[in-house]
Amino acid sequence: MANDTTTAPKRGRAAAAATDAPPAPQDPREAVAPLLAPRHQRTVAHLHALAASPPQVVLAEGGTAPERMALALYWAALLNCEAPDDARPCLSCPSCLRMAGGGHRDLIVLDGNKPSAEEGSFSIENVRALRGLLGEPPREGRRRVVVLVDAHTRVEAANGLLKSLEEPRPTTCFVLLAPQRERLLPTLVSRSFVLTLAWPTDAAPPPPAVRDWLDALVEFIQTGGGWMERTSRKGDLDAPLAAAVVLHCQRALADVLAGRAADPLGRLLAERMDLARLRRCDEALAAAQEALSLSPSPVNPALVMDWLATRMFLGVR
């Protein structure tokens, strides 16, 4: 992230991104609205209490992905708002407008869900470029805010980030976003002030087709039987259905890590897996999700689900 476009090629895609024309700001109230739901009032109060002396790293877990991102934008606006202290964030000043729209020069977002070669990804190359920028003062605000979306998906880049956290950065705040703290490196968690958003309580039950596959997966994990026969039937399992099954498995695992396992799969995982095995299960689910979403040619869904089911079967033994 260079000061001008002539140096951007030497400092990586993160450097080039910082010199692009900012997007048109969106309505800041719309951008932070997911955080302003009544169930997050305590979290918002914690943010305001922290703003007087901001920690270098805030880890936001729980909630939904949009709610975690809304927290990051709210925090960035709160730290840089131009209104008097008791009115921040006003969500109407130029700083708030640019923060919400992603166009503020002191807001950097690196996304662990983007491919490493894509601009704005949480890659080791972009982390290295970021480390060069951190030695510079903020460009237009009081504090630079670096948001790392789903930081748990890139272990190498996360290790690179740790080197940046070894030195105090009084004008830079990091925000790590992850479904659960257990998915992150313990060394990152230990350096963070953790805020837990209220977990969703109104998640829709899986549709019948997905529920059928989840029940079959539970049976296979318990007995080792029946699964391969299902996946071998031509036309029974396509990529969207497989992705939906993986998503509900991830939701069941999240419930286990949060201490509530009402789903049959969740109860099985809670009974048969310790924390280390749950982490490996989470990694397997993430790998399956990535394989099913490859573009333009996802991996054969039956092969992906056979691999995933086998990993989960072995994981409880």
Q: Render each residue's pLDDT in the chain as its tens digit; 317 residues.
A: 333 322 222 333 343 333 333 444 467 788 899 998 888 888 999 999 999 999 999 999 888 889 999 999 999 999 999 999 889 999 999 999 888 777 888 999 988 877 777 778 888 888 888 887 887 888 888 899 999 988 777 777 888 888 778 777 788 999 999 887 877 888 888 889 999 888 665 566 788 999 999 999 999 999 999 999 999 998 889 988 998 898 889 888 877 876 776 789 999 999 999 988 988 898 898 888 878 877 556 789 999 999 999 999 999 98
Domain-embedded: residue 2:
no
What pLDDT, on a 0 to 100 scale, did the predictor assign at position 297? Answer: 66
Cβ atoms of residues 13 and 19 within 8 Å: no
d(CA 86, CA 66): 26
Q: Tell me the two tokens of residue 285.
A: 């689910």
Secondary structure of residue 55 in the 3-state scheme: coil
Q: Residue 310: which H helix or E strand, with range?
A: helix 301-315
Q: Does one domain contain both 263 and 168? A: no
Q: Pick the last residue of a domain from 155, 173, 197.
A: 197
For residue 136, give the amino acid letter.
E
Q: Pick the last residue of a domain from 164, 197, 230.
A: 197
Q: Does one domain contain both 183 and 213? A: no
Q: Pick the last residue of a domain from 145, 169, 197.
A: 197
What pLDDT, on a 0 to 100 scale, did the predictor assign at position 25? Answer: 45
Angle (deg, nearest 10), helices 239-257 and 264-272? 50
Q: Does one domain contain both 19 and 138? A: yes
Q: Does one domain contain both 292 and 157? A: no
Domain-embedded: residue 1:
no
Domain-embedded: residue 202:
no
Domain-embedded: residue 203:
no
Q: Does one domain contain both 226 and 97? A: no
Domain-embedded: residue 261:
yes
Q: Does one domain contain both 303 and 178? A: no
In the block, tokens 């670096």 appear at 146
Cβ atoms of residues 82 and 200 within 8 Å: no
Instruction: Give residue 247's domain range.
Output: 208-315
Q: How far is CA 289 from CA 4, 208, 230, in A?
A: 38, 20, 20
Secondary structure of residue 14 in the 3-state scheme: helix
The dihedrals phi and psi of 134, each to the nearest 5 degrees, come to -65, -20
What pLDDT, on a 0 to 100 scale, did the predictor assign at position 17? Answer: 39
Look up the pTM and report it.
0.64
What is the CATH number for 184? Answer: 3.40.50.300
Q: Does one domain contain both 31 and 153? A: yes
Q: Residue 148: which H helix or E strand, with range?
A: strand 144-149
The number of domains in the chain is: 2
